[in-house]
Amino acid sequence: MAAKAEQIIADFLDCWHRRDLEGLVARVTQDVAFQPDPGAEMVRGREAVGALWAQYLETMLGYEADIRQLAAGQGVVFVERVERLSLSGGRRMELPIVGVFELDPAGQIRAWRDYWDPAMAKPV
């Protein structure tokens, strides 16, 4: 089961690479909870999360994530990754992030929390 959970999250992150909003939203539960960083309000529900991700994709012209560590157990997947973002206006940044994903028994994402330090974001 752990390998399957790891693959579910790897596939989810691949949707970001492809800028596939439909694929992203299809992989979350109706009552998904998303917290993009520790200080942010939790965004709840597939519709609200999908709208937020659509905004992200509008300003994010490119996305790459190098997965450093990926581990799963008991319906939880931890992903240490380095994201490289190309943003509107020509800005580019690199950011180390740890994400925690909770999966339901059907393999859909029911919660996603990212942990990162804004001081570690660096322009590239």
User: Per residue in 77-97, pLDDT tens?
Assistant: 999 999 999 988 888 999 999
Whole-number pLDDT of residue 21: 97
- Map out the domains of the chain as residue ranges: 2-123
Band (pLDDT 50/70/90 cuts) for residue 1 is low
Per the CB < 8 A criterion, the answer to whether 7 and 54 are in contact is no
Average pLDDT over residues 53-66: 92
pTM: 0.92
CA separation for the pair 59, 61 (Å, rounded): 6
User: What sign results for the dihedral spanned by CA atoms 115, 40, 87, 51?
Assistant: positive
Distance CA 80, CA 109 (A): 17
Fold of 2-123: Nuclear Transport Factor 2; Chain: A, (3.10.450)
pLDDT at residue 4 is higher than 90: yes
At 65, the pLDDT band (50, 70, 90 cuts) reads: very high
